[in-house]
């Protein structure tokens, strides 16, 4: 089947259903290994790409009439395929909040692990994890990252169907395999955020800027996302980073985070960063209804909270990690927390009391109220211990 009357027919392969993708798998794999390019559906628009190789990058640049020094973004199966990149806390948080999804992150490639066609002159590499089932299956067939760029001419409307790809008939960039999943629904392209240093919105898109700012609120207030260098910290003006940890990051640790922010504001202790995470978080879940109601009754708004997963990067970021129970302390130890982690009750009482903070999840508002009051008392005592280093 030809596209747009191309005298050199390009194959169009049905790729909209799981069964169609299974049938096409061997053909797609052989095409990619042979250096061929694909037009394929994503959750936003049709894209163009191929394997991360010099041959594939050269062909893709020719197809898009794009200078080789302007890199292509990469689609990944998961975050592990970008392990060589420098993950800042902001990047970690955004990936936890919006991946898989229409969010492209730009990270630094300090070791030059990715080829020039995917890496900018300043070392940046753009990556995304797509939720589209066709992309997931395609990446499994490819066995690794694929390059990606929108399948339209610069300045023209995004391609949402095979019919929109007719301009490719004019290309002389070699064979192209078109994976047809039908017409895609109207959607914005992916949002692009540069996470090197202070997070910066590069291109608005499917994820609104307000959601990005909300997700970053706990680490992107008046300072840069910390990347492990003293210069970053000095420029940011922060002196102390505090992390609360519970199980799901929807009840205890969000309330602890909210209480701490309120108490810090009362004291005027500005240069302190506070966040929370869960050892088994349903990433992106809101605070529980009980936590929302009880906190709101105390003047603390948790409406914008979204659950975050505890990670090695978050543990590394924190100067002090206060956990709700012994299992959470152990989880932090496994991620390199060392002597920076303690039970909240133990730290607050200088070792006189060692008990877990009651988990109110699924309980009554009275249970949430009791947990809230326990948290507040413990945090007030913890801040008294920290006063010598945190008070202005």
Q: Please write the tens of the pLDDT for every residue from 249-292.
A: 999 999 999 999 999 888 888 678 888 999 998 888 899 999 99
| Element of type H or E holding 294 | helix 289-297
Cα end-to-end distance, the chain, whole Å: 72
392 residues of the chain, pLDDT tens digit each:
333 333 333 588 999 999 999 999 999 999 999 888 999 999 888 999 999 988 888 888 888 877 666 789 999 999 989 988 999 888 999 998 999 999 999 999 988 899 888 988 888 999 999 999 999 999 999 999 999 988 887 667 788 898 888 877 655 444 789 999 999 888 878 888 889 877 888 877 788 877 888 788 766 443 233 322 222 322 233 468 899 999 999 999 999 999 999 998 888 886 788 889 999 988 888 999 999 999 999 999 998 898 888 988 888 888 899 999 999 999 999 999 988 999 999 999 988 998 999 999 989 999 999 999 999 999 999 999 988 877 76
* pLDDT, tens digit, 9 for 90 and up, residues 80-119: 899 889 998 889 999 989 999 999 999 999 888 998 889 8
For helices 18-33 and 133-142, what crossing angle results, to 10°?
A: 40
Residue with tokens 């730290």: 347
The catalytic residue positions are: 246, 252, 359
pLDDT score recorded for residue 371: 97
Query: Which pLDDT belongs to residue 332?
Result: 94
Q: Residue 69's pLDDT is what?
A: 63
Strand partners for 125:
107
pLDDT for the residue 267: 85
């Amino acid at each position: 089947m030809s596209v747009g009357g191309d005298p050199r027919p390009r194959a169009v392969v049905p790729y909209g259903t799981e069964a169609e993708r299974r049938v096409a798998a061997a053909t797609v794999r052989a095409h990619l290994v042979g250096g061929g390019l694909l037009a394929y559906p994503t959750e936003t628009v049709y894209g163009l790409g191929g394997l991360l190789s010099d041959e594939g990058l050269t062909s893709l640049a020719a197809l898009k009439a794009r200078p080789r020094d302007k890199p292509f973004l990469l689609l990944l199966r998961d975050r592990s395929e970008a392990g060589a990149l420098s993950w800042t806390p902001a990047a970690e948080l955004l990936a936890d909040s919006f991946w898989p999804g229409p969010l492209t992150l730009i990270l630094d490639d300090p070791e030059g692990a990715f080829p020039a066609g995917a890496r900018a002159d300043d070392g940046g590499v753009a990556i995304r994890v797509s939720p589209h089932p066709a992309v997931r299956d395609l990446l499994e067939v490819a066995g690794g990252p694929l390059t990606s760029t929108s399948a339209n001419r610069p300045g023209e409307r995004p391609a949402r169907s095979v019919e929109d790809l007719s301009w490719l008939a004019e290309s002389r960039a070699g064979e192209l395999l078109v994976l047809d999943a039908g017409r895609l629904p109207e959607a914005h392209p992916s949002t692009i955020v540069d996470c090197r240093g202070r997070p910066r919105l590069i291109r608005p898109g499917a994820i609104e800027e307000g959601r990005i700012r909300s997700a970053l609120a706990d680490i992107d207030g008046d300072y840069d996302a910390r990347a492990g260098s003293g210069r970053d910290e000095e420029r940011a003006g922060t002196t102390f980073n505090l992390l609360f940890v519970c199980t799901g990051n929807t009840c205890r640790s969000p309330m602890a985070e909210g209480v701490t922010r309120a108490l810090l504001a009362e004291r005027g202790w500005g240069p302190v960063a506070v966040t929370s995470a869960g050892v088994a978080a349903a990433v992106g879940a809101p605070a529980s209804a009980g936590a929302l109601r009880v906190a709101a009754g105390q003047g603390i708004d948790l409406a914008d909270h979204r659950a975050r997963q505890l990670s090695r990067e978050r543990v590394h970021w924190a100067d002090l990690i206060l956990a709700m129970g012994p299992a959470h302390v152990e989880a932090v130890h496994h991620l390199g927390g060392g002597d920076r982690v303690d039970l909240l009750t133990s730290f607050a009482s200088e070792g006189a009391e060692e008990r877990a903070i009651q988990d109110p999840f699924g309980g009554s508002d009275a249970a949430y109220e009791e947990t809230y009051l326990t948290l507040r008392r413990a945090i007030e005592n913890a801040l008294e211990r920290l006063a010598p280093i945190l008070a202005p």
